[in-house]
Amino acid sequence: MRRWITVPAVLALAAAGTAVVPATASAATRPAAASQCATDWGSLPKSDRTFTSNQLVNVRTGQNPCYDRMVLDVPGVSDANRIGYQVRYVDELLQQASGTPIPVSGGAVLEIVVTASTMDFGAGKPSYPGQAGQPLPGVDLTGYRTFTDARFAGSHEGYTQLGLGVRARLPFRVFQLDNRVVVDVAHDWGTAG
């Protein structure tokens, strides 16, 4: 009999304890439940063999409760006008044109190659200001859970190569939306949260 009285009392205390959580915490700052972050992305290479001529104009990053995200802005990309890409884990980031090693910090390195140039040939000037071996312009990864470093490797003959340092070899996905290519890397194995 005593057990039946104790269980409701414990449940009531537990419920009361949840009411103490500050109401100011937003959904963006709370960790996501594992079931909300379940993923089967895997860590094997992902690619799209389409080849079209586009220009990379910007690279930006963002955080999600389940993953960190990198977005490559490529105007003109859509379901009807896809661009090619290859994203894969590498032991070392080697610049495509020269084979020069580019150091990227982190427990693992994702090589991202897209069929987009960083040169606006019509205007005779770069469409993206990346410098080989240097951090990506405007990308600040301070406080990111998975991303540790982001480097520009180069642009050569219609291909642009980036290196993304991540905490460890983690599941990732790649997809295209209007005017952009998206790379998401999960925070954990088995879940993205």
What does the pLDDT read at residue 53? 73
8 Å CB contact between 182 and 81: no
pLDDT in tens, 95-117: 988 899 999 999 999 999 999 99
pLDDT in tens, 111-139: 999 999 998 888 888 899 999 999 999 99
Through-space distance between the first and last CA atoms of the chain, rounded to whole angstroms: 41
Fold of the 39-186 domain: Immunoglobulin-like (2.60.40)
Q: What is the mean pLDDT of the segment spanning 158-168?
A: 96
What does the pLDDT read at residue 35? 53
* Single pTM value for the model: 0.79
8 Å CB contact between 112 and 164: yes
Using alpha carbons only, how large is the chain's radius of gyration in Å?
21
